């Protein structure tokens, strides 16, 4: 058979087989993207519920503080201070049940609070005497919900949350590119949280499209798909919580389909390049699989190593640097092999220079100040990572020749989502919001992990006469003293010998650290005590000097016993006049 005739005869089935192969590749990619979308949605539900739980839990401490007041003037003073420093709170209401009188700390109208349709759900799982309300409308543009504390005399203190402020904390939770998290009050069927503040308080179309029926039939957790505004929506929901709120997370079907669109387009364009199609399919699948692993990382150092492995595998480069940006302090930091953070540069103006979705390839001459600090002296890519409009990190990749921008954009987009969720998870689960130290839960986990090791010691640190500092200089100065103490602890107890530096509560801190013996443990803590005593803290041009007392013990038997021994040593230090270090010698 002549070659031309053979080619003509085989061309059509060849193209058909090629297109079928590419459609199959698109189908596999669609399944992968759908799986990733569901994974992110489940993760966002958990993060969102933990975030709301933490805000309600924080409100309980404010309510207990108000309950301890002994006069109306003291109550009003503390209430106004709380409202001034926490924009999330809308108002504080005191209800005298004997006279059925409602009083606003801001002297606002209390007609909304007297609405008989407000329902309450007890929060016995958090603390006694607490309850959370359904959402209700205070003014035409203001929707709130309240956490109520019932006093022993049956009077009530309400702490109201302004939903327009509270909802902003969920805006960082994203599913793929278009999805987000919202929350519905199942009692009213109205939106309690939504990324668009104007939607708050309006009836939820998604909830009434079928999710409410699932909830009413006892299916408190599951998947649901529906049609809304010309788009098919996929979502997961969770209504199993004491607030009777339904957390919903998902995205458009088109958002999932968009990741497979490149394969369908390739099937049309590359009619005869079957090998190229296979290569693209393989690389995309491998890249998606690798990038999906970023969502499983719980520590910044693990995220950094995983991202470096991905860039090593898919990009030709001569070095990668990843810097994280802390918007609260305006500094860029790196993380070393042990997880220690090092401040490289403080420059808020540089952070403003970066913009979302930007990706630049420049030479040494045009390197920014951060690149110069990192000694990047060749052509390189600058890839900023954003959480919405907030800078959270910058990737610098040295490259003599340009690489494929589509790969870098895909890496950037997945990295932004994964890093945003990691930072939110890390903040909620393991870190104290004020000091960025470990929280009590993280400390207890590490105590259990290192129990009965010969060289591991636990120290409890308490700021001496902290109440006197708050009473005489104010709570803002007290907060600066706590932050200053935390900074000194991180400086005096660096990793890897430091296993956990934590804020245990209020003015009390804990350090879990390695030492050669009891004398070494004592000397490390004594060095820290001396450092605090000699430190100079200036607040509003006023020098503040203070001391700490420290109790130390071996981490033996159990976390509760170790904490008890260290606490006993701390009280001995206070009994000796404070500004002391006492070691509780372990007796086998």
Q: At residue 117, does pLDDT exceed 90?
A: no
Which pLDDT score, from 0 to 100, does residue 475 have? 87
Q: At residue 557, does pLDDT exceed 80?
A: yes
Least confident of 38-47, 128-137, 354-363: 38-47
Which pLDDT score, from 0 to 100, does residue 256 have? 67
Q: What is the mean pLDDT of residues 127-136?
A: 86
pLDDT tens-digit map of 139-170: 888 899 999 999 888 899 999 988 887 767 77
- Which are the contacts of 355, defined by CB distance < 8 A and separation ≥ 6? 384
Q: Residue 211 carries which DSSP code?
A: I
Which pLDDT score, from 0 to 100, does residue 215 have? 83
Least confident of 329-333, 386-390, 532-536: 329-333
Which pLDDT score, from 0 to 100, does residue 42 have? 79
Position with higher pLDDT, 25 vs 98 = 98
Which pLDDT score, from 0 to 100, does residue 333 have? 87
Most confident of 109-118, 492-501, 566-575: 566-575
Which pLDDT score, from 0 to 100, does residue 533 have? 92
Q: At residue 1, does pLDDT exceed 50?
A: no
Q: At residue 7, does pLDDT exceed 60?
A: no
Which pLDDT score, from 0 to 100, does residue 388 have? 83
Which pLDDT score, from 0 to 100, does residue 588 have? 42
CA 577 to chain centre: 41
Q: Residue 271 — pLDDT band, cuts 50, 70, 90?
A: very low
- What dihedral angle (degrees, nearest 10) is formed by the CA atoms of 200, 201, 205, 210? 120
Which pLDDT score, from 0 to 100, does residue 569 have? 94
**Structure-token pair, residue 11:** 């061309």
| 31 vs 149: CA distance, rounded Å | 48
Provide the mean pLDDT of the chain: 83
Q: What is the mean pLDDT of residues 300-319?
A: 86
CB 112 within 8 A of CB 136: yes
Q: At residue 253, does pLDDT exceed 80?
A: no
pLDDT tens-digit map of 402-420: 888 888 888 888 888 888 8
Number of H helices, E strands in the chain: 17, 26
Residue ranges and CATH numbers for the domains of the chain are: 1-294 (3.30.450.20), 297-425 (3.30.450.40), 440-583 (3.30.70.270)
Say how many CA atoms lie within 13 Å of 142 toward its Cβ. Answer: 13
| 217 vs 39: CA distance, rounded Å | 25
Q: At residue 50, does pLDDT exceed 60?
A: yes
- Helical residues (DSSP H) of 241-299, grouped into ranges: 253-258, 261-269, 274-292
3 state DSSP class of 139 = strand
Which pLDDT score, from 0 to 100, does residue 4 have? 58
Which pLDDT score, from 0 to 100, does residue 513 have? 94
Q: Residue 489 — pLDDT band, cuts 50, 70, 90?
A: very high
- Helical residues (DSSP H) of 188-273, grouped into ranges: 205-206, 212-216, 253-258, 261-269
| 290 vs 304: CA distance, rounded Å | 13
CB 258 within 8 A of CB 26: no
Q: What is the mean pLDDT of residues 382-398?
A: 89
Q: Residue 283 — pLDDT band, cuts 50, 70, 90?
A: confident
Q: At residue 12, does pLDDT exceed 70?
A: no
Q: At residue 45, does pLDDT exceed 90?
A: no
Q: What is the mean pLDDT of residues 384-396?
A: 89
Which pLDDT score, from 0 to 100, does residue 276 have? 59
């Amino acid at each position: 058979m002549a070659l031309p005739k053979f080619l003509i005869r085989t061309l059509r089935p060849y193209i058909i087989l090629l297109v079928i192969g590419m459609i199959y590749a698109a189908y596999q990619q669609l399944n992968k993207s759908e799986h990733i979308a569901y994974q992110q949605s489940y993760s966002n539900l958990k993060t969102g519920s933990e975030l709301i739980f933490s805000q309600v839990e924080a409100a309980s401490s404010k309510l207990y503080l108000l309950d301890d007041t002994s006069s109306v003037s003291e109550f009003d003073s503390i209430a106004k201070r709380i409202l001034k420093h926490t924009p999330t709170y809308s108002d504080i209401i005191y209800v005298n049940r004997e006279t059925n009188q409602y009083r606003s700390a801001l002297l606002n109208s209390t007609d909304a609070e007297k609405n008989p349709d407000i329902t309450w759900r007890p929060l016995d799982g958090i603390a006694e005497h607490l309850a959370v309300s359904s959402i209700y409308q205070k003014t035409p543009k203001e929707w709130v919900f309240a956490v109520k504390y019932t006093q022993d005399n049956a009077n009530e203190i309400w702490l109201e949350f302004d939903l327009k402020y509270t909802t902003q904390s969920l805006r960082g939770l994203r599913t793929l590119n278009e999805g987000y998290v919202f929350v519905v009050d199942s009692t009213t069927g109205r939106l309690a949280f939504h990324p668009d503040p104007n939607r708050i308080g309006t009836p939820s179309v998604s909830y009434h499209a079928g999710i409410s029926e699932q909830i009413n039939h006892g299916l408190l957790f599951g998947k649901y798909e529906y049609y809304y505004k010309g788009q098919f929506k996929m979502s997961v929901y969770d209504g199993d919580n004491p607030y009777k709120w339904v957390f919903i997370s998902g995205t458009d079907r088109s958002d999932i389909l968009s990741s497979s669109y490149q394969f369908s387009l390739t099937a049309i364009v590359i009619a005869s390049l079957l090998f190229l199609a296979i290569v693209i399919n393989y690389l995309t699948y491998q890249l998606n699989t690798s990038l999906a692993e970023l969502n499983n990382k719980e520590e910044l150092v693990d995220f950094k190593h995983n991202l470096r492995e991905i860039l090593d595998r898919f990009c030709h480069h001569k070095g990668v640097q990843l810097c994280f940006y802390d918007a609260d302090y305006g500094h860029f930091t790196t993380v070393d092999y042990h997880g220690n953070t090092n401040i490289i540069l403080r420059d808020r103006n540089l952070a403003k220079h970066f913009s979302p979705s930007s990706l630049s390839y420049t030479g040494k001459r045009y390197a920014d100040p951060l690149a110069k600090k990192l000694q990047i002296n060749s052509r390189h890519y600058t890839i900023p990572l954003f959480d919405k409009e907030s800078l959270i990190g910058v990737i610098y990749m040295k490259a003599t020749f340009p690489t494929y921008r589509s790969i870098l954009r895909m890496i950037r987009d997945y990295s932004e989502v994964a890093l945003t969720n990691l930072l939110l998870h890390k903040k909620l689960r393991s870190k104290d919001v004020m000091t960025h130290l470990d929280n009590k839960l993280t400390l207890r986990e590490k105590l259990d992990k290192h129990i009965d090791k010969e060289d591991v010691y636990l120290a409890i640190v308490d700021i001496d006469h902290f109440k006197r500092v708050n009473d005489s200089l104010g709570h803002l100065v007290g907060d600066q003293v706590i932050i200053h103490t935390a900074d000194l602890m991180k400086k005096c107890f660096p990793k890897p010998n430091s296993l956990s530096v934590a804020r245990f509560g209020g003015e009390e801190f804990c350090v879990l650290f390695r030492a050669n013996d009891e004398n070494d443990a004592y000397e490390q803590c004594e060095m820290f005590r001396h450092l605090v005593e000699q430190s100079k803290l200036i607040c509003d041009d006023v020098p503040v000097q203070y001391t700490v007392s420290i109790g130390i013990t071996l981490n033996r038997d159990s976390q509760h016993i170790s904490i008890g021994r260290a606490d006993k040593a701390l009280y001995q230090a206070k009994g000796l006049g404070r500004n002391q270090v006492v070691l509780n010698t372990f007796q086998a």
